[in-house]
Amino acid sequence: MSDTNGTQTSDQPIFSVEKLYVRDLSIEVPNAPQCFLERETPNIDVQLATAATRLDEGFFDVTLTVTVTAKIGQDKTLFLIEAAQAGIFQIRNVPEENLEPLLFVACPNLLYPYAREAITSSSLRAGFQPVILAPVNFEALYAQQKRQAEIAQSSEGEARLQ
């Protein structure tokens, strides 16, 4: 098929990375320098969050935020690192039902290695052992969140009926 200028157009699906960037990167070491004298192995907590925004027709900004907190015991924070790795993605000619999985599975899969590297590098620069994050199955996380949302919706509906 060609448009009025004679150039070829296509209804083929398009998924491409237009730009990768760090939206935000922060490191906090609230108990320095005393925390460097600790000999106890810290507990590491990792939290992930994904957000997507439509920028323009066919363009989306997706941000994967990884927050890593290292604590000794319940209340002594050694460090907190938050990396918000983002990307602008072009997604066109994709059925609406496939858009959300692309934004919340495929895009985070592409962003995660960059966020992982930012976390590892930041932990080293802060004076700690490197934090090497395990691989993440974003498809399983997405499916779990969908199930939780469905359960919340059905229990909300049941509450209204009673």
CA distance 114 to 127: 20
What six digits make up the tokens of 47? 């939290």
- pTM confidence score: 0.85
* Cβ within 8 Å of residue 56, ≥6 positions away: none
Closest to 71 in 3D by CA, of 38, 27, 104, 25: 38
Q: Which domains does the chain have, with CATH numbers?
A: 14-146 (3.10.420.10)
According to DSSP, the β-strands at 14-28 and 43-56 are: unpaired
pLDDT of the chain, 162 residues: tens digit per residue = 445 554 445 789 999 999 999 999 999 999 999 999 988 999 999 999 999 999 999 999 999 999 999 999 888 999 999 999 999 999 999 999 999 999 999 999 999 999 999 999 999 999 999 999 999 999 999 999 889 988 888 776 555 545
